[in-house]
């Protein structure tokens, strides 16, 4: 082992034994060049350290090795060896030491994630990334930059179940990660989460995620926001059957310019309002290349299916009984057979309450028979009440934390001081202007009275 690397290992041992982890971070941040120049000795340095004692020092060494993947084409064998070291470190490292350098830890995980996706091995990184998230988090509801990596691996491998606990939790905090957390991680997390929910056909949750990505405060339109906006349009048509506008709290730069990048989707919305599937199909055929490159053809098919269901649901508000042929004609379906298939599927899914008479080929529509007095309904209402109560508690805690935040307190003091100065200046200015302009005002008053008297004499003369 080279002398410089040996000195590095000794300093890691000494500072760790003394518990001076902040000083150790400062020292290692100044030793990057030493580690990069001695790449061939890093494995020996890793073997000289104990993972249970020197997790922070080993993190820096392993990060240097992993960072070289971005600039070199490592062979399959070299990557397997490095990936084994990465998995061993993530599963056995001491989280209390990793907390001193979460930025380097998450950057190392980002590089491994991209490499796994590039090598078509995304599913192999899911388990270790779940463990890595627990090492970075200080509470289960905290969002980290690794959440977006986990969602990306699950999407790439089409294995959605491991991501579900991380995308259904109510986020109440964001990890700072020593300043390494960026806006793209926030946008990617909600964008990927929306894609997972859409793949599972949980369109309500998908709509919420895409809305968070689109309405994030911004000064420029990012590519992630544009892609999220495209899917937001489609999912909102599926869930609500309309697309009016973005939320009021969306940044103005988004509301002004994002539509310029989604002309084809705006045409699709206009075709949707006609309630005619053929017009939507015409828009899709004219812009197939765009929709295919955006990988939104599947969602567009769901939009067409949603429109057909809404056409049928609209009939239930107007008619009590209707023939299958009339249903087909009024909903732009090809015939009574196709209409019956759609009706049966909607009845099974509980989307409408109806009865089909096979002899007369008539369908009868009924009102909702739910009286909301069953035990299951009471249980669901109680669950929703508990969720609202928990949300109120979290909001109260956040409000309390903001009130004692030093930056917030200083800001409030600054604003109150400025207000006092403004009020005092305004009062002094008003008093001086009143004293100096009292004579002109009296002259104006007497002139006005004389003018009024003259006008009166002329009117009543």
CATH classification of the domain holding 360: 1.10.10.10
| DSSP summary character for residue 169 | S
Residue 121 lies in a domain: yes
Q: Flag whether pLDDT at 148 surpasses 80.
A: yes
Percentage of the chain exceeding pLDDT 90: 69
- 127 and 14 housed in the same domain: yes
The answer to whether position 460 is within a domain reads: no
Q: Could you tell me if 216 and 257 lie in one domain? A: yes
Instruction: Please indicate, yes or no, whether residues 303 and 204 belong to a single structural domain of this protein.
Output: yes
Tokens 């991380």 -> residue: 166
What confidence score (pLDDT) does residue 461 get?
35
For residue 220, being part of any structural domain is answered with: yes
Mean pLDDT of the chain: 88
Q: Do 8 and 101 sit in the same domain of this protein?
A: yes
Biggest alpha carbon distance in the chain? Answer: 118
Give me the mean pLDDT over the 246-272 stretch. 93
pLDDT at 71: 77
Tell whether 6 and 46 lie within a shared domain: yes
**In a shared domain, residues 190 and 275:** yes
Cα–Cα separations (whole angstroms), residue 274 to 306, 311, 332: 13, 11, 11
Burial of 208 (0-12, 13-18, 19+ CB in 10 A): middle
CB 211 within 8 A of CB 187: no
Confidence of residue 424 (pLDDT cuts 50, 70, 90): low
Domain check: are 204 and 328 in the same one?
A: no
Provide the 8-state DSSP code for 52.
Answer: T
DSSP strand pairing (321-323 vs 142-143) = unpaired
Q: Tell whether 218 and 118 lie within a shared domain.
A: no
| Torsion (CA) 377, 380, 385, 390 in degrees, nearest 10 | 170
- The pLDDT, as a whole number, for residue 172 is 85
Structurally, how many domains does the chain consist of?
3
- The region that residue 350 occupies, defined by phi over 0 for left and psi between -120 and 50 for alpha, beta otherwise, is left
Q: Write phi, then psi, for 53 (nearest 5 degrees).
A: -115, -35
Task: Answer whether residue 226 shows pLDDT above 50.
Answer: yes
Contact 315, 330 (CB under 8 A): yes
- The tokens 């001695």 sit on which residue? 38
Helices 55-67 and 76-92: crossing angle, nearest 10°? 150
Band (31; pLDDT cuts 50, 70, 90): very high
Give me the mean pLDDT over the 20-44 stretch: 92
Q: How much is the pLDDT for 150?
A: 98
**Angle of the 263-272 helix axis to the 297-316 helix axis, nearest 10:** 20
Residues 273 and 296 in one domain: yes
Q: Which domain holds residue 350?
A: 319-365
Boundary-marking domain end, from 104, 127, 150: 150
Q: Give the least confident one: 30-39, 71-80, 232-241, 419-428.
A: 419-428
- For residue 169, being part of any structural domain is answered with no
**Could you tell me if residue 398 is inside a domain?**
no
Q: What is the pLDDT of residue 446?
A: 44
Two structure tokens written together for 297:
């053809």
- Residue 365: beta bridge partners? 354
Residue-level pLDDT at 452? 41
Instruction: Report whether 70 contacts 61 (CB < 8 A).
Output: no
- Of 260, 276, 308, the residue that ends a domain is 308
The per-residue pLDDT for 280 is 93
Query: Is pLDDT larger for residue 33 or for residue 417?
Result: 33
The first and second tokens of residue 416, run together, are: 């109150």
Confidence of residue 74 (pLDDT cuts 50, 70, 90): confident
What's CA 108's distance to the chain center, in Å?
23
Q: Is residue 459 part of a domain?
A: no
Percent of the chain at pLDDT > 70 equals 90
Distance between CA atoms of residues 308 and 56, nearest Å? 58
Let me know the angle formed at the C-alpha of 180 by 176 and 183, rounded to the nearest 5 degrees.
Answer: 85
> Same structural domain for residues 288 and 323?
no
Could you tell me which of 217, 214, 319, 197 has the C-alpha nearest to residue 262?
214
Pull the structure tokens for residue 425.
Answer: 């200046």
Residue 419, in any domain of the structure? no
- The CA-based angle 149-24-139, given to 5 degrees, is 40
* Buried b or exposed e, range 376-389, using 16+ CB within 10 angstroms: eeeeeeeeeeeeee
Average pLDDT over residues 230-259: 92
Which residues neighbour 27 within 8 Å (Cβ) at sequence distance 6 or greater? 11, 15
Q: What is the pLDDT of residues 122-142, one digit of tens each?
A: 999 999 999 999 999 999 999
Same domain, 117 and 140: yes
Give the confidence band of 170 by pLDDT, cuts at 50, 70, 90: confident
Whether residue 458 is predicted with pLDDT greater than 50 in this model: the reply is no
In a domain, 418, yes or no: no
- 417 versus 69: which is more confidently predicted? 69
How close are the terminal C-alpha atoms of the chain, in Å? Answer: 118
Note whether 70 and 133 are same-domain residues: yes
- Among 97, 126, 150, the domain-final residue is 150
Cα distance between residue 18 and residue 12, in whole Å: 10
Q: Of 64-73, 213-222, 298-307, 321-330, which range is least confident?
A: 64-73
- For the cut 90, the answer to whether the pLDDT of residue 460 exceeds it is no
Please identify which residue in the block is written with the tokens 């567009």. 300
Considering the entire predicted model, what is its pTM? 0.83
Residue with tokens 């082992």: 1
3-class state of residue 134 by DSSP:
helix
367-416 per-position pLDDT tens digit = 877 777 788 888 999 999 998 998 899 889 889 988 998 988 888 888 87
């Amino acid at each position: 082992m080279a002398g410089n690397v040996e000195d590095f290992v000794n300093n890691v041992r000494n500072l760790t034994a003394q518990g001076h982890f902040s000083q150790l971070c400062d020292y290692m941040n100044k030793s990057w060049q030493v580690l990069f120049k001695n790449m061939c000795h890093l494995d020996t340095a890793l073997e000289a350290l104990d993972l249970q004692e020197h997790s922070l020092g080993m993190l820096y060494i392993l990060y240097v090795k992993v960072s070289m993947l971005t600039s070199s084409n490592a062979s399959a064998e070299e990557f397997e060896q490095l990936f084994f070291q990465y998995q061993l470190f993530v599963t056995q490292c001491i989280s209390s030491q990793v907390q001193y350098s979460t930025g380097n830890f998450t950057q190392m995980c980002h590089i491994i994630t991209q490499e796994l996706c590039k090598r078509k091995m995304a599913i192999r990184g899911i388990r270790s990334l779940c463990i890595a998230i627990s090492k970075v988090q200080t509470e289960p509801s905290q969002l980290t930059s690794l959440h977006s990596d986990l969602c990306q691996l699950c999407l790439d491998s089409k294995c959605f179940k491991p991501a579900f606990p991380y995308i259904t939790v109510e986020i109440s905090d964001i990890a700072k990660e020593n300043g390494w957390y960026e806006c793209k991680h926030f946008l990617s997390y909600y964008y990927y989460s929306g894609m997972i929910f859409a793949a599972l056909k949980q369109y309500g949750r998908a709509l919420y995620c895409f809305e968070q990505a689109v309405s994030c405060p911004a000064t420029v339109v990012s590519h992630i926001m544009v892609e999220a906006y495209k899917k937001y349009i489609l999912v909102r048509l599926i869930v609500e059957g309309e697309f009016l506008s973005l939320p009021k709290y969306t940044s103005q730069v988004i509301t002004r310019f994002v539509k310029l990048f989604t002309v084809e989707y705006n045409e699709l919305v206009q075709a949707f309002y006609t309630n005619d599937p053929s017009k939507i199909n015409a828009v899709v055929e004219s812009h197939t290349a765009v929709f295919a490159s955006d990988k939104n053809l599947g969602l567009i098919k769901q939009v067409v299916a949603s429109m057909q269901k809404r056409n049928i649901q609209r009939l239930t508000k107007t008619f009590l009984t209707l023939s299958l042929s009339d249903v087909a004609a009024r909903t732009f379906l090809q015939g009574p057979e196709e209409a019956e298939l759609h009706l049966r599927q909607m009845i099974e899914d509980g989307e409408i309450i109806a009865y089909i008479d096979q002899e007369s080929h008539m369908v009868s529509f009924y009102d909702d028979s739910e009286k909301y007095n069953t035990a299951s309904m009471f249980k669901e209402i109680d669950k929703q009440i508990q969720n609202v109560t928990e949300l109120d508690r979290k909001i109260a805690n956040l409000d309390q934390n903001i009130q004692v935040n030093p930056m917030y307190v200083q800001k409030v003091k600054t604003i109150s001081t400025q207000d006092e100065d403004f009020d005092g200046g305004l009062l002094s200015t008003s008093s001086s202007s009143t004293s100096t302009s009292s004579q002109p005002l009296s002259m104006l008053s007497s002139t006005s009275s004389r003018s009024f008297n003259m006008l009166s004499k002329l009117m009543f003369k």
